[in-house]
C-alpha cells in the first residue's frame, strides 16, 4: 500500500513540476517576436492575445486607464460615482495596505 502511495505521489509531483514550468514559460515569454526584416510583432500565442489587453498591460496602459477614468469623471460625475460603488474598494485598500506594511515593515 505504501509503495503504491509513494509511486502515485511521485507521479503527481512530476506533473505539478511540469505544469509549473509551463506556466512560468507562458508568463515570462517575450511579448514581442522578431519578424523577418528586423521588425517585431506580438506573438500569436503570447499572453495576452487581445490588442486591448496588450494596450492596457503595456507601457502606456496605466496612463490610458487614468485618462479614461479622468474623462468619465469630468464628463459624467454621476456615472463615475456609480462605477466607483461597484468596485470592491475596501478589499482593494486592505490589500494595498497589507502590501505596504509587508514591503516596508522592516523600515518602519
pLDDT of residue 80: 77
Q: How far is CA 19 from CA 23, 45, 96, 98, 104, in A?
A: 6, 17, 30, 30, 33
pLDDT of residue 30: 61
- Quick one: which of 61, 39, 35, 36 has its CA closest to 48? 61
pLDDT grade for 14, boundaries at 50, 70 and 90: very high
Model-level pTM? 0.31
Q: Span 68-83, mean pLDDT?
A: 84
27 and 8 in a common domain: yes
68 and 48 in a common domain: yes
81 and 43 in a common domain: no
Supply the range of the domain harboring residue 6: 2-76
pLDDT grade for 13, boundaries at 50, 70 and 90: very high
48 cis-preceded (ω within 30 degrees of 0): yes
| pLDDT tens-digit map of 18-72 | 999 988 887 776 655 554 554 455 555 666 777 777 777 777 777 887 888 888 8
* pLDDT: which is higher, 35 or 89: 89
Cell triple for residue 59? 507601457
71 and 83 in a common domain: no
Number of structural domains in the chain: 2
Amino acid at each position: 500500500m505504501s509503495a503504491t502511495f509513494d509511486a502515485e505521489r511521485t507521479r503527481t509531483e512530476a506533473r505539478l513540476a511540469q505544469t509549473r514550468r509551463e506556466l512560468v514559460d507562458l508568463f515570462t515569454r517575450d511579448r514581442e517576436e522578431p519578424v523577418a526584416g528586423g521588425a517585431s510583432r506580438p506573438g500569436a500565442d503570447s499572453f495576452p492575445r487581445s490588442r486591448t489587453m496588450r494596450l492596457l498591460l503595456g507601457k502606456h496602459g496605466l496612463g490610458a486607464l487614468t485618462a479614461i477614468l479622468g474623462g468619465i469623471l469630468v464628463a459624467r460625475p454621476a456615472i463615475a460615482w456609480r462605477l466607483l460603488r461597484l468596485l470592491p474598494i475596501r478589499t482593494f485598500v486592505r490589500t494595498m495596505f497589507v502590501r505596504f506594511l509587508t514591503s516596508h515593515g522592516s523600515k518602519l
